[in-house]
Every structure is written in C-alpha cells, then in structure tokens.
C-alpha cells in the first residue's frame, strides 16, 4: 500500500466539510505499511484516543471513518482509529463467541479481531471485496474489526447526528446514532459496547 503524504496542508482531505477525500486513495493516510514503522499516525490521532462525545454545542465538527459491513455503512470517530491494515493471518481462539475471529500480533501487541457482521446480525456474505482490519482504540484496549471495505472520512457536525431509531430491533445498544448525508445512512457505533466480548464460554465441549 503506497503512502501519500500531505505536503501542502491546505489540500488535505478535511479541508471542506462535504468534500470527499482525494478520490484515488482517500484513506492512504491511515493505511499502514507494516515494513515502515513510526510514520503511520496522522497528527490528529496522537492527541486523543477513545470514543469521544460527538456533539458540540459550539458547532464543532468531528471526523468519522466510514466502512462497509455487509451492505450497511458504519462510522466510528476517527479519534479512536489507530490504523488500518491489510488482513494478517488470524489465529483462532477457542472458547470465544463466534464473532471473535481470533487474534493477530501487530507490532508486538496481541489484539483480538472481531467480525461485527456476526455481532450485529448482518448477513455474512462472500467477502470478495478487498477486506481490511480497522484497528480501534477503546476503553478495553485496542481491537481489530474486520470490514468489507473502508469508504471514507467524513466531517459531521453534532446536529447532523440523529439518535438511533428504536425500530432497528436488536443491537441498538451498540449504536450511538445515525448520520444522514447525500442520501446515504451511516450508522455510528458505540465502540466500547460494540467491541466488547461477552463472558467467555468456559466449557465449549469440555465434558464429553
């Protein structure tokens, strides 16, 4: 994965609120070349991690990373984003819920990789797309989320985020709201809840 460096800050992808980032490779800034360390985090990520509140009374706007899970577009605060990596070999961990794909070692840290499609009861189709693992920082430490495709970074004002509709059925407690724009609907995840792993199955098949 090549790296684009924003030499001219004025032409950065976040210049205007509705601007889509540079068309060819909008997220290059977040993609990580595993061979090249130390250059992977945009300055905006160094200040704060964790899923912060997104509404600001003063009309401040926040950046969100959006990605596809099955056919739905989801968004997470970019402050929680650590990096995006191309899939690594995942080691299965027994006795964990089905949405835990396993663990990977990324620069010396072992992190779980979750398939939120399963957790959110979405159809798990063929992942013919060039999938990615989005590494997010949360209250419980870093975790990877397997996504079908990373879409873009959007800048949204707090007033444009609606509360999650109760009609969505199961799993609304994993959501923080909905962003509507350009006829699309982005579902904002509550990271701490969505990336939590329920108590492990202590005895999957222990007593045979």
Partner 1 sequence: MSDEAGGIAEEFLSEAAEIVEQLGGHLLRLEEQAKKGSLDPDIMNAAFRAAHSLKGIAGMFGADRVGALAHRLEDLLDGLRMGRVKPGPSVLDVLFEGVEALDALVAEVGKHTDAGDVETIAPRVASLMDKVTAILEERPPEKHDPLDDFDISSEVLEVLTEYEEQRLRENARTGANLYRVRVEFELSTFDEGLMALSGGLKKVGEVISTLPSGLPANETAIVFDILVGSPKDRSTVEAACEGFDVEIMPIERTKQPEVGASSSPAPMPEPMTGDDVSPSASGKKRPPTQVGAYSARVDEKSPAVEEADAALEAATGSEEYASLAAVARTVRVDISRLDELMNIVGELVLSKANLQRISDSLKSELGFRGVSVDLYKEARSLERRIDLLQKGVIEVRMVPLGQIFDKLSRMLRKMAREAGKDISFEVSGGETELDKLITEELSDPLMHIIRNSIDHGIEAAEVRSARGKPARGTIRLDAYQKGNHVTIEVSDDGAGLDEHAILRHGLERGLVGADQVKELSRRDILGLIFAPGFSTRQEVSGLSGRGVGMDVVKTNIGQLSGVIDVDSEFGVGSTFAMTLPITLAIIQGLIIRAAGQVFTVPLNSVIEILRIRQTEVRTVERQEVIDLRGSTVPLVRLGRLFGLQGSASEDEHIFVVIVGLAQNRLGVAVDQLLGQQDVVIKSLGRRLGNVRGIAGATDLGDNRTTLVVDVAALIEEVLERDLQVAAN
Please identify, using beta-carbon distances, which residue of 170 and 199 lies nearer to partner 1.
199
What are 153's two structure tokens?
């970074």
Helices (runs of H) and strands (runs of E) counted in the chain = 3, 11
A 10 A CB-CB count for 37 gives: 9
CB distance 120 to 32 below 8 Å = no
CB distance 156 to 62 below 8 Å = yes
Please identify, using beta-carbon distances, which residue of 97 and 165 lies nearer to partner 1.
97
134, 136, 143, 191: residue in contact with partner 1 (rule CB under 8 A)? 143
Give the pairing of strands 72-77 and 184-189.
Answer: parallel
> What are the residues whose beta carbons fall under 8 Å from the beta carbon of 98, sequence distance 6 or more?
115, 118
**What is the rounded CA–CA span in Å between residue 123 and residue 81?**
25
Shortest CB 94 distance to partner 1, Å = 3
Binding-site string for partner 1 from residue 51 to residue 90, where x marks contact by CB under 8 A and - marks none: -------------------------------------xxx
Shortest CB 202 distance to partner 1, Å = 5
A 10 A CB-CB count for 170 gives: 8
What are 52's two structure tokens?
């912060």
49, 70, 103, 124: residue in contact with partner 1 (rule CB under 8 A)? 103
49, 93, 118, 124: residue in contact with partner 1 (rule CB under 8 A)? 93
Q: Is 140 in the site for partner 1 (CB under 8 A)?
A: yes
Shortest CB 51 distance to partner 1, Å = 16
CB distance 170 to 36 below 8 Å = no
**What is the rounded CA–CA span in Å between residue 11 and residue 138?**
30
Shortest CB 159 distance to partner 1, Å = 31
- Stretch touching partner 1 by CB under 8 A, among 45-53, 67-75, 129-137, 196-204: 196-204
3, 20, 56, 95: residue in contact with partner 1 (rule CB under 8 A)? 95
Please identify, using beta-carbon distances, which residue of 90 and 122 lies nearer to partner 1.
90
Q: Is 16 in the site for partner 1 (CB under 8 A)?
A: no
List alpha helices for 10-153, DSSP H: 43-47, 116-119
Which residues make up the interface to partner 1 (CB under 8 A)?
88-96, 100, 102-105, 108-112, 140-143, 195-197, 199-200, 202-208
């Amino acid at each position: 994965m090549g790296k684009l460096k924003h030499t001219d800050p004025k032409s950065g992808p976040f210049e205007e609120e509705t601007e889509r980032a540079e068309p060819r490779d909008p997220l290059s800034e977040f993609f990580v070349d595993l061979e090249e360390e130390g250059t992977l985090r945009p300055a905006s990520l160094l200040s704060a991690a964790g899923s912060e509140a997104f509404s600001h009374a003063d009309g401040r706007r926040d950046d969100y990373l959006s990605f596809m899970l099955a056919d739905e577009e989801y968004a997470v605060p970019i402050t929680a984003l650590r990096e995006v990596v191309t899939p690594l070999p995942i080691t299965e961990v027994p006795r964990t819920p089905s949405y835990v794909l396993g663990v990977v070692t990324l620069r010396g840290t072992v992190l779980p990789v979750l398939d939120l499609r399963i957790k959110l009861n979405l159809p798990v189709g063929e992942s013919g797309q060039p999938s990615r693992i989005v590494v997010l920082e949360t209250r419980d430490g870093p975790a990877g989320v397997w996504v079908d495709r990373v879409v873009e970074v959007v800048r949204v004002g707090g007033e444009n985020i609606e509360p999650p509709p109760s009609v969505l059925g199961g799993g609304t407690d994993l959501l923080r709201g909905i962003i509507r724009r350009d006829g699309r609907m982005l579902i904002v995840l509550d990271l701490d809840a969505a990336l939590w792993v329920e108590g492990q199955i202590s005895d999957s098949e222990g007593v045979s």
